[in-house]
Amino acid sequence: MLRELDGRTALVTGGTRGIGRAVARRLAGAGAAVVLTGRDAQEAEAVAAEVAAESGGTVTGLALDQGDQAQVAAFMAALGENGPGLDIVVANAGTMGLGGVLQEITAADARGVVEVNLLGTFAVVQGAARIMAARGAGSIVLLTSLAASAGVPFMAAYAATKGAIAALTLSAAQELGAQGIRVNAIAPGVIETDMIAPFPRESLDEVAQRTPLGRLGTAEDVAAAALFLAGDEASFITGHVLAVDGGLQP
């Protein structure tokens, strides 16, 4: 039985845990040959083997530090030159940074978040666009956040970068559509991953109670949205930011 992504190659950055791992598993299960990245080569390889076993698909793990834009550019160029092409990119890698009171966040702290979340994602999109433009087709899915529209106290740098990613999505979609490349984003709400571990459980329970669907999200909820936007069912959708937040309002 033909799976919807058979014959396609997908890149999932930040694919060793949480949302990225779930996305890699979902895309591989749909037939895509998946490359997932993480900062540590051994961890990326180990997770790739696990995801391949779970999904029955083909998964490769490679090291990539998204905070190093030169490394990202070289990595994407190598994929274009040496790989089988690139049909799908899910740019998931990101960091919340240290956070803190707005007046006390240092330039170095803010720069670290910007380099990973914004500049690193920008470099991934640039590299993907070069590869996909040569083929005249492709789907790029970025990860923004509910924080982009709602804000998060004590996470100003993180929220700012996620707002920038939403703007990047809209601009890239306008520019790349004529080359057959679709660009969309997912804005997760509060998702049960290790990223929210620092937050008090009572605060998270309160968020779940305020969410119309009565729970926090899961990585699989986001992965299902990524599969939809990556595939042909979304072939006339570009420049869209899809909220996966259970109806939680800013």
Q: Active-site positions?
A: 158
SS3 216: coil
Other C-beta atoms lying within 10 Å of the C-beta of residue 11: 31
Handedness of CA 155, 160, 161, 167 (dihedral sign): positive
Sequence-distant (≥ 6) Cβ neighbours of residue 212 within 8 angstroms = 246, 247, 248
DSSP state, 191?
B
Asked if 62 contacts 93 with a C-beta cutoff of 8 angstroms, the reply is no
Sequence-distant (≥ 6) Cβ neighbours of residue 165 within 8 angstroms = 117, 118, 121, 142, 143, 144, 148, 185
- List, edge to edge, every strand of the sheet that includes 88-91: 58-63, 33-38, 9-13, 88-91, 138-143, 181-188, 241-244
Find how far residue 65's CA is from the centre of its chain. 14
Instruction: Tell me the one-letter amino acid at 151.
Output: G
Instruction: Look at residues 149, 146, 150 and name the one whose alpha carbon lies nearest to residue 187.
Output: 146
Please give the Cα distance from 243 to 195 (Å, whole number): 18
